[in-house]
Structure 1
Amino acid sequence: MRTFFSGLLTVVAMVAIVLAFPSLWVKERLVDSEGFVTTITPMAQNEQVQDYLASQIAEEAAEQVGIPATSAVVEPAARAYTHSDQFEADFVDVVSQQHAFLFDQAPAGSDTTTMQLDITDMVNRVIEQTGVDARVSGPILVPLSGSSGSGLEAGRYHEVGQQITAMAYLSLVVAVVAGLLALLIARRRSTVLAWLGVGVVASAVFAWAVAMFFADRAKDEVEAAEEGGREVSAVIIDGAATDLQDLALIVGAVGCGVVVLGIVGRLVVGRR
């Protein structure tokens, strides 16, 4: 009977482990606003992101102050800004806007069909660098997705985010409790440990697949955007997916270590 209950608890723990890792990553790195910013902020160093926003900022700054966008003043100032430390700080603010757009409930009467970047502060910084005495009140919005419901709508992931958070916590608790109980009542604890390690490896594989699915799905949703915005969105999406895949490799390696530890323990106990 002990063997039966231990085996049952081991299976439950393995299933919970498979769900726990990717759902915890989504909760901590995407649903949580601070985690989302941490995940996306390194994209500020990406050349495609810098060039796209420099182009948009230069165009808007030139329009606001009434000078050509190809001016020898505006474009260099915009490119210098996007390669500065200040740009990364402003990019964090912009990323926070996007998180609120996707995960908060959409305000009544707002545009819920198009995800946009508000680059008003960025434009004002570049205008200031050109020496022109002007300031834009804004908002200056740059679309990152298509319109008419073809892209990422406001509040689209509000309920999904809550559901994933609940699943993350529940699966973690079940994995820990079931795993510990399985080890406590098992006759061969090393065997249970090895199977729990298999569950960790399976969780890493599942997380890798989730990252690929997430990337493909998200890119499909911004397919209707204009080329520059679509490319920037792809960079951000790939960055988030890569973060999960890198962590999955680490978790998979840990799982393999647990499997080996369980097998070695079983061999040692068997010899005794």
Structure 2
Amino acid sequence: MRTFVSALLGLLALVVASGGLVSAWLDENLVEESGFIALAAPLGDDADFQAALAESLAQEVTANTELPEQLGSFVEPLVRDAAGAVTRSSGYPAAWAETLRLSHAVTFAQAPDPSESAPAVLTLDLGPVVGLVADSVGAGLGVDIPIPEDTTVEVGSLARGGLLHGIADVVQDWRLYLAGAAVLALLALVIARRRGTTLALLGLGVVGIGVLGILAGDWVPDAATRAPGTGAVADVFIRGLAQRAGADIADSSVPVVVGGLVAVLVGVIGQLAVGRGRRA
């Protein structure tokens, strides 16, 4: 009976630990604004993303210049040149960081009315970068170029709003989950007849969790590649973000594997020491 209860507690400890580790990564890298910005900021320097962004900016600004038709053919090349140069301007890093900050705020906002259709799973607000292009073109022409009212780009096709807000609330308790897993593991060790063996098995379970995390480093980008696209900017952004997320998940899983191996080693040594003591 003790062996069964110990095994059940150990299994529960591993399940709760898995949820705690996943929640910790989601909270620190997606829910937390600083973590999201740190994860996504390097995408602003990606050549493919910059090309897609420049094309999108040119279309947005050109469609909303509200200038006389005879000036349209003259203004459009200026807008495209400015859109292509904006990523090399001194104001681009700050504008891109502000874009990510606004995007994070919109993405994790509570849906105001459950009866309304929810937006996409992630919303990029390109307003700060669009503003750079408009200011550049306006300064060259000596006129004010209006910024479009809607500068958002929807990424993905899953409903969010209240759902993501609820997920954000759940994952923020990851410390509690990991503490609960530790308590369950300790109880499993206390009840176990062979504590060294139990510790080694728990360590193997932790190693398995870490290996799954490393494998997830490949699964996440693959899933993003198969996701339906909503536009060039959205496609490049979400796939680049998925690649960075996958790499970070894999790197974060290495210490988990090492910790599990240490537990296996300590458990095996402890069990061998106990066995020798009994024979003596």
**TM superposition score category, shorter chain reference:** 0.7 to 0.9
Question: Structure 1: how far apart are the matches of 2:102 and 2:13?
Answer: 38
Question: What is residue 160 of structure 1 aligned with on the other side?
Answer: 167
1:128 corresponds, among 115, 132, 135, to 135
Question: Structure 1: how far apart are the matches of 2:160 and 2:269?
Answer: 52
Question: What is residue 185 of structure 2 aligned with on the other side?
Answer: 179
- The answer (yes or no) to whether the contact 1:48–1:232 under 8 Å persists in 2 is no
User: Quick one: which amino acid aligns to residue 202 of structure 1?
Assistant: G
TM-score of the superposed pair, with normalisation by structure 2? 0.75
CA RMSD in angstroms, aligned pairs only: 3.4
Question: What is residue 39 of structure 1 aligned with on the other side?
Answer: 39
Q: CA deviation at 1:122?
A: 1.3
Question: Structure 2: how far apart are the matches of 1:182 and 1:239?
Answer: 37
Q: Map 1:216-235 to 2 at 5 A.
A: 223-235=228-240
Q: Map 1:33-182 to 2 at 5 A.
A: 33-63=33-63, 64=65, 66=72, 67-71=74-78, 74-83=79-88, 86-108=91-113, 112-114=118-120, 116-130=123-137, 131-132=139-140, 133=142, 134-145=144-155, 151-155=157-161, 156-165=163-172, 168-182=174-188
SS of aligned partner of 2:112: coil
Question: Structure 2: how far apart are the matches of 1:137 and 1:59?
Answer: 12
User: Quick one: which amino acid aligns to residue 252 of structure 1?
Assistant: V
Question: What is residue 246 of structure 2 aligned with on the other side?
Answer: 241
User: Quick one: which amino acid aligns to residue 196 of structure 1?
Assistant: L
Greater gyration radius: 2
Question: What is residue 201 of structure 2 aligned with on the other side?
Answer: 195
Instruction: Output one character per residue of 1:50-72: Cα deviation in whole Å (capped at 9) or x when no partner.
Output: 2221222234345537544434x
Question: Structure 1: how far apart are the matches of 2:99 and 2:16?
Answer: 36
- Which stretch shifts more, 128-137 or 237-246? 128-137
Question: Structure 2: how far apart are the matches of 1:209 and 1:158?
Answer: 27
Instruction: Output one character per residue of 1:115-158: Cα deviation in whole Å (capped at 9) or x when no partner.
Output: 54332321222343453342534334253447xxxx14441422
- Which stretch shifts more, 83-92 or 10-19? 83-92
Question: Structure 2: how far apart are the matches of 1:152 and 1:100?
Answer: 17
Question: Structure 2: how far apart are the matches of 1:203 and 1:43?
Answer: 29
Instruction: Output one character per residue of 1:7-66: Cα deviation in whole Å (capped at 9) or x when no partner.
Output: 443333222223221222123222333332232223222222222212222343455375
- The answer (yes or no) to whether the contact 2:200–2:267 under 8 Å persists in 1 is yes
User: Quick one: which amino acid aligns to residue 208 of structure 2?
Assistant: A
- The answer (yes or no) to whether the contact 1:101–1:154 under 8 Å persists in 2 is no
Unaligned runs of 5+ residues in structure 2 are: none
User: Quick one: which amino acid aligns to residue 97 of structure 1?
Assistant: L
Residues 100 and 120 (structure 1), Cα distance of their counterparts in 2 relative to 1, 3 Å cut: closer
Count of residues in correspondence between the two structures: 264
Question: Structure 2: how far apart are the matches of 1:190 and 1:76?
Answer: 68
Question: What is residue 262 of structure 2 aligned with on the other side?
Answer: 257
- Which stretch shifts more, 43-52 or 26-35? 26-35
Residues 264 and 75 (structure 1), Cα distance of their counterparts in 2 relative to 1, 3 Å cut: farther
Question: Structure 2: how far apart are the matches of 1:257 and 1:125?
Answer: 53
- The answer (yes or no) to whether the contact 1:116–1:141 under 8 Å persists in 2 is no
Question: Structure 1: how far apart are the matches of 2:85 and 2:116?
Answer: 34
Q: CA deviation at 1:175?
A: 0.7
- The answer (yes or no) to whether the contact 2:124–2:153 under 8 Å persists in 1 is yes
- The answer (yes or no) to whether the contact 1:116–1:145 under 8 Å persists in 2 is yes
Unaligned runs of 5+ residues in structure 1 are: none
Question: Structure 2: how far apart are the matches of 1:138 and 1:76?
Answer: 18
Question: Structure 1: how far apart are the matches of 2:250 and 2:7?
Answer: 30
